[in-house]
Structures are given as structure tokens and as C-alpha cells.
């Protein structure tokens, strides 16, 4: 039996263009591991790579930062990890440990981070190299295709909610029911919040309630502020829908000292009335992903509370279709590439 010396990978070659290619299987350098990828989520943040939104992407580049697989090779100096161990890699694949943020214990805001799928190759591939310091342990009970979106969409919503000012029993609203929002609703309900889902259209009400929302607000028919105020105000609104105008409309519905936590990047500005901030001491804050321990705690909570993303799976050679449909919001609700569909 001949051992393969190459693997398949999908690379971004120009803005919006993905190409399936063959590459030589690499050897991990010191501090790295080589992962046999099982599944990789297709996240909207991948557009930063595929569309070169930052202007700093060096093509060709393999996108993907919601990666689940098993270790098949260890680089020199890697301790605490074993061949065959199930691991994941999220958006932040490692920090430099020496910048001002890292020195203050804030590695999430590292000035020189390893960003999976942006400044290093990511998981749209059968093989991936990763820094051992960025590895996340994946519970065996989570299927690869379901675990993958939890490494970014799940972590982002879980961490934002648990680090917020809200406490069990408070009203928490999830603005948006897409890839982030549908997980936010599940986390909020299981954390003990009175959970409100906000979206556009009566057709989303049934799904919102099925995911755990106590109340659904159809922003096309109801005044979001008035409804939130009728509930006593929202202690937290988690902004997961990429609309600045929509997020701004929730701020007057916050309680005094309530927070709008922004985790989606809207194409339009979030335009606010200062009066709504000053009278009530309300605030608008951003939240970015989380650390390796945060990610492992996200997975543990999701496993414990039976929280799962709603996914649509694609094979690796369907990566362009998966990406294009994700960008059109034409998947329900997370697209995931699976390298061996029969095993995902």
C-alpha cells in the first residue's frame, strides 16, 4: 500500500476565488503539530481572507478557523499532546507572549497574534499545521461537524454573555438569528436569562422559540424599544446581526447600566443618540472571541447543556459553493466542510 505524500487544500487565489489544489504533506516545525482535519466551519470572518479585506493577505492562503481534527505528527519540543488526540483550532491560533497586552494577561488582544486562516494557513484542507499553544481539546461526544462552529461562533457568543453584566433571571436579548444568533439564543436560555430573540419576519418566530427564546420580537412589525421596555428593559443586548441601524435601535430598550455587546461587524455605522447613553449610563462594547481555556469551557458547556449549531455540510470540493452560499446567507445556519463525509 502506497502512503500518500500529498493532501488536498482549498486556497484563496484572488478576491472571491477559491481553488482546490494538491500540496506536499508538511513536517511540523518546533512547537507545532500536524492535524488531520475532520471538519472546518465556513465563517463570515473567512471573507477577510478570501476577499482580502485587510489588504494584507498573501495569496495563495488556505482560509478557515473553526477546525476539528486529530494530531498525526508532533514537532520538536511539543509536550502534553499525543498522536491521535482530538483537537481544535480557533480564530486565535497563538499569541506572541511579549507584547503589552500579553504581558498584562490579555492574550486575546495580542498585538502580533497567529490568526488561523489569515496570516497562517487554516482548515479548508485535509492537513493543517498549528501551534501547540493554540490547541483546544475537543470532547469525544461532540461530532466534528457540530463542534467546528462552536470554536468561533459558539465561543464568541458564550464568552460575551458570561462576561457581561447580566445575571440569571435578567432579560437578555439576542439581536439576530443567524450563525451567531441561533447559538446566542441557546446559550442565553441555558444560562438562566429571560431570553428575547430579535429578528425580521414572522417566519423566524417558530425557530426562535424552538431554540429557547421566551419572547420573539419581529422588528418589521413591532417597536423593539417599546417591547424591551415592556419587559423591564434588557440588561444585555447581544448584537449578532450585521446591521448597525438595527443594533442602534435596541439601545433605548436597555435597562440603566445595560449593555449592547457587539460581536458582528455591520456594513453601516452604529449611530447612537448620546442622550440614550448618558441618561441610564448605558454602554456599547465590543467582544472578540476568547482564549484556549475559554474555548474548552464553551465546548464543555455546550456538551453539558446539549447546545448544538444548526449546520449544513459540504465536501471539500464544494468549498466555493459553501463560501458563496454563506456570504449570501443562504445556509441554515452554519456551513461546515467535512473532509470525510461518511465520518462527520
Q: Mean of the pLDDT values across residues 84-97?
A: 95
Residue 193 in this model has a pLDDT that exceeds 50: yes
- Dump pLDDT digits (tens) for 277-325: 999 999 999 999 999 999 999 999 999 999 999 999 999 999 999 999 9
- Dump pLDDT digits (tens) for 230-255: 999 999 999 999 999 999 999 999 99
Alpha-carbon distance of 36 to 303, in angstroms, equals 23
Alpha-carbon distance of 135 to 139, in angstroms, equals 13
Q: Mean of the pLDDT values across residues 131-147?
A: 96
Q: What is the pLDDT of residue 86?
A: 97
Q: Helices (H) and strands (E) in the chain — how many of each? A: 11, 17
User: Could you tell me how far CA 159 lies from the centroid of its own chain?
Assistant: 11
Alpha-carbon distance of 191 to 284, in angstroms, equals 22
With H, G, I as helix, E, B as strand and everything else as coil, classify residue 279. coil
Q: What is the pLDDT of residue 343?
A: 47
Output 71 or 267, whichever has higher pLDDT. 71
User: Could you tell me how far CA 187 lies from the centroid of its own chain?
Assistant: 14
Q: Mean of the pLDDT values across residues 18-40?
A: 97
Query: How many beta carbons lie within 10 A of that of residue 20, not counting itself?
Result: 15
CATH of domain 6-152+309-343: 3.90.180.10
Residue 4 confidence class, pLDDT cut points 50, 70, 90: confident
Domain ranges of the chain: 6-152+309-343, 164-286
Residue 342 in this model has a pLDDT that exceeds 70: no
**Counting Cβ atoms within 10 Å, is residue 65 exposed (0-12), middle (13-18) or buried (19+)?**
buried
Q: What is the pLDDT of residue 243?
A: 95
Alpha-carbon distance of 158 to 151, in angstroms, equals 10
Q: Please, how many CA atoms are within 13 Å of residue 51, restricted to the half-sphere of its CB?
A: 9
Q: What is the pLDDT of residue 1?
A: 47
Q: What is the pLDDT of residue 344?
A: 45
Q: What is the pLDDT of residue 340?
A: 78
The residue assigned the cell 440614550 is 276
Question: How are beta strands 32-42 and 334-338 bridged, if at all?
Answer: antiparallel
The architecture of the domain spanning 164-286 is 3-Layer(aba) Sandwich (3.40)
Q: What is the mean pLDDT of the chain?
A: 95
Amino acid at each position: 500500500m502506497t502512503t500518500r505524500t500529498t493532501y488536498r487544500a482549498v486556497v484563496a487565489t484572488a478576491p472571491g476565488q477559491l481553488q482546490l489544489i494538491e500540496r506536499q504533506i508538511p513536517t511540523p516545525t518546533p512547537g507545532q503539530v500536524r492535524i488531520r482535519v475532520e471538519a472546518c466551519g465556513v465563517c463570515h470572518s473567512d471573507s477577510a481572507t478570501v476577499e482580502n479585506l485587510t489588504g494584507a493577505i498573501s495569496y495563495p492562503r488556505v482560509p478557515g478557523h473553526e477546525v476539528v481534527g486529530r494530531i498525526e505528527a508532533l514537532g520538536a519540543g511539543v509536550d502534553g499532546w499525543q498522536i491521535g488526540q482530538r483537537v481544535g483550532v480557533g480564530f486565535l491560533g497563538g499569541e506572541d507572549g511579549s507584547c503589552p497586552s500579553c504581558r498584562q494577561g490579555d492574550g486575546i488582544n495580542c498585538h502580533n497574534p497567529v490568526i488561523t486562516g489569515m496570516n497562517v494557513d487554516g482548515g479548508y484542507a485535509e492537513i493543517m499545521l498549528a501551534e501547540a499553544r493554540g490547541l483546544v481539546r475537543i470532547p469525544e461526544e461532540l461530532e466534528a461537524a457540530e463542534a467546528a462552529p462552536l470554536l468561533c461562533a459558539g465561543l464568541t457568543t458564550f464568552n460575551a454573555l458570561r462576561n457581561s453584566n447580566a445575571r440569571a433571571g435578567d432579560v437578555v436579548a439576542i439581536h439576530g438569528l443567524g450563525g451567531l444568533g441561533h447559538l446566542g439564543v441557546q446559550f442565553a436560555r441555558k444560562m438562566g436569562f429571560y431570553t428575547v430573540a430579535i429578528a425580521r419576519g414572522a417566519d423566524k418566530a417558530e425557530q426562535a422559540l424552538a431554540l429557547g427564546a421566551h419572547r420573539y420580537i419581529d422588528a418589521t412589525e413591532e417597536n423593539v424599544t417599546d417591547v424591551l421596555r415592556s419587559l423591564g428593559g434588557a440588561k444585555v443586548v447581544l448584537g449578532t446581526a450585521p446591521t448597525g441601524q438595527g443594533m442602534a435601535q435596541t439601545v433605548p430598550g436597555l435597562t440603566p447600566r445595560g449593555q449592547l455587546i457587539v460581536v458582528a461587524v455591520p456594513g453601516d455605522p452604529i449611530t447612537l443618540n448620546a442622550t440614550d447613553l448618558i441618561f441610564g449610563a448605558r454602554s456599547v462594547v465590543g467582544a472578540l472571541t476568547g482564549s484556549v481555556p475559554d474555548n474548552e469551557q464553551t465546548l464543555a458547556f455546550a456538551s453539558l447543556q446539549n447546545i448544538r449549531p444548526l449546520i449544513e455540510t459540504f465536501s471539500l470540493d464544494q468549498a466555493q459553493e459553501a463560501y458563496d452560499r454563506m456570504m449570501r446567507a443562504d445556509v441554515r445556519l452554519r456551513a461546515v466542510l467535512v473532509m470525510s463525509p461518511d465520518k462527520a
